[in-house]
Structure 1
């Protein structure tokens, strides 16, 4: 496994899976020349490695990737070095091509901002997973440029004139719009993944609130009905209330995360631990 040259790209190995993490959260993971070089090396090496079957790309922080680091390109041009910009885009476009023609599946977890160069390292891949926090755009025209990174390929394949609309206006799309037009392939609610950004203590405190509401039967008695049907009467025919998932409303679910309305109830009190840094990192 080729290691990253710097901490701008983190490489995680889990069995046959390799995860590349864009790690410039303060810059919204804007693609630097260093990051592009690292991606090129990793994608090239993993394609030849029979021990690697799947690549995952994600960003650290509130953005997947806000685009290429064009500020660095402009600074170089102002210093009479236009060739730096040409070299930057040459490598970026080469990376886009390798991803678009890659022989192994790539999953891009598009949480938060996905713009410009961020689209280039994700949209060309096989699977693009969006969440309710995803914001997609091709904003190059606002910078006096044009939608690059192979956008003339994937935008031209969107339904009707939607690609022209996205490319010319720089409009921001949400997850539902990305799914509808084909820019995304799958949707996962970001709430489901909330525990990934929390400590084990925070997760246990939240779950303690939830289980206390369940024990009290505050909003539902499905737990008691499930135990009756499986463990007590064993008829394996629970009568859920409501009977269908689509009848479960968000406002009821949210109540499970609230404090319990009982003067004697307290949140889960966990003692401080010296060895709190070790954590299990969930993998796809």
Structure 2
């Protein structure tokens, strides 16, 4: 069966679809772009899920990435930069609408949805994998929501997932724009199983013929230790603070070198985005279903489009790659409460409205 992390590297289709036995296979096929999602890719995945839900021959859906380096490194960041620097924000907002709807669709898909999260999994890649019913990590997995480093707030249901992580681990990952390997991903609830990359082809072959549980039983292996588990004491203490300023104060007062490094990473990120992200995580814990959190994230994403930090963060990290963003405002103290509140302002007739359309019995 083709379509593993070392699968097709060429082809005109950005998403390859095929049926293998009882499995519907989705391969993200932009290896040179680390399989970053475009709007047409989101639509093609959604159409495939609709068709396969009605196809009795298909009992399981599997999604992988081509090229070996990444499952999916995020969304179309260049298009977002264009919109944030005078382009058409409506096009990006429509992309987000379809993307977030897809994230919710995956979370409630009635057939097993198996995500092979090998290699880099960032941003939008988290959205099309970590909401699935079966999430597989490998020894190459690196899962991250790096949004605060580009002046953005975690989206695609990222604040929902991170808010559910044990203790304050999700807050730590979000504010530092940190990453999780296989062990940490399992600890944080971002993955379910560890399968070595060398066993992925055989796993996919078995998924084509066997029920998901039986196929997994043949190939799941013990995960590497979770490094964050050993750091839970200082993470839970420091990030339980009510403000970013107090979090930094607690981190800098600790003796652990990892705490000092976390403080440095947070201080290097967009002050506005960091404050908005902390507020988003706190609110997500009280919102309930994924759909309600996605509605909140859509408001935050639309608000971020008009902020100077999003354009500047993408410029520094992706366009010019000088890694020296000039944030505005430049300090946490200069971020007014109103600047954070605007991320959560209702959008009127532009609301995503996913929670309102979700049947109560399915929440």
What is the rounded CA distance, in whole Å, between the counterparts of 1:44 and 1:79 in structure 2? 35
What is the rounded CA distance, in whole Å, between the counterparts of 2:87 and 2:52 in structure 1? 37
What is the rounded CA distance, in whole Å, between the counterparts of 1:12 and 1:194 in structure 2? 15
- Residue 162 of structure 1 corresponds to which residue in structure 2? 169
- Residue 123 of structure 1 corresponds to which residue in structure 2? 130
User: Where does the alignment leave 5 or more consecutive residues of structure 1 unmatched?
Assistant: 1-5, 197-284
1:8 aligns with 2:14: yes
Secondary structure in structure 2 of the residue aligned to 1:80: coil
- Residue 234 of structure 1 corresponds to which residue in structure 2? none
What is the rounded CA distance, in whole Å, between the counterparts of 2:103 and 2:202 in structure 1? 32
Secondary structure in structure 2 of the residue aligned to 1:41: helix
How does 1:114-193 map onto structure 2 within 5 Å? 114-193=121-200
- Residue 70 of structure 2 corresponds to which residue in structure 1? 63
User: Where does the alignment leave 5 or more consecutive residues of structure 2 unmatched?
Assistant: 1-11, 204-363
Bigger Cα Rg: 1
How does 1:1-284 map onto structure 2 within 5 Å? 7-61=13-67, 62-193=69-200
Structure 1 length normalisation: TM-score? 0.64
Deviation, 1:172, is 1.2
What is the rounded CA distance, in whole Å, between the counterparts of 1:7 and 1:53 in structure 2? 24
- Residue 234 of structure 2 corresponds to which residue in structure 1? none
Residues 24 and 195 (structure 1), Cα distance of their counterparts in 2 relative to 1, 3 Å cut: same
Deviation, 1:194, is 8.1
Deviation, 1:78, is 3.2
Residues 152 and 80 (structure 1), Cα distance of their counterparts in 2 relative to 1, 3 Å cut: same
Deviation, 1:79, is 4.5
What is the rounded CA distance, in whole Å, between the counterparts of 1:181 and 1:104 in structure 2? 24
Alpha-carbon deviations, 1:62-112, whole Å to 9, x = none?
Answer: 100000112122224434311011011011001001001111101111110
Q: Contact between 1:53 and 1:104, CA under 8 Å: does it hold in 2? A: yes
Q: Contact between 1:73 and 1:84, CA under 8 Å: does it hold in 2? A: no
Moved more, 39-48 or 185-194: 185-194
Deviation, 1:181, is 2.1
Q: Contact between 2:136 and 2:195, CA under 8 Å: does it hold in 1? A: yes
Structure 2 length normalisation: TM-score? 0.51
Deviation, 1:9, is 0.3
Q: Contact between 1:17 and 1:56, CA under 8 Å: does it hold in 2? A: yes
* Higher fraction of helix: 2
Give the alignment's Cα RMSD to 1 decimal.
1.7
What number of residue pairs does the alignment pair up?
A: 191
What is the rounded CA distance, in whole Å, between the counterparts of 2:50 and 2:92 in structure 1? 23
Residues 192 and 46 (structure 1), Cα distance of their counterparts in 2 relative to 1, 3 Å cut: closer
Q: Contact between 1:67 and 1:116, CA under 8 Å: does it hold in 2? A: yes
Moved more, 121-130 or 45-54: 45-54
What is the rounded CA distance, in whole Å, between the counterparts of 1:42 and 1:155 in structure 2? 28
What is the rounded CA distance, in whole Å, between the counterparts of 1:194 and 1:33 in structure 2? 29
What is the rounded CA distance, in whole Å, between the counterparts of 1:195 and 1:14 in structure 2? 13
Deviation, 1:195, is 9.3
Deviation, 1:12, is 1.7
By relative contact order (CA 8 Å, sep 6+), the higher-ranking structure is: 2
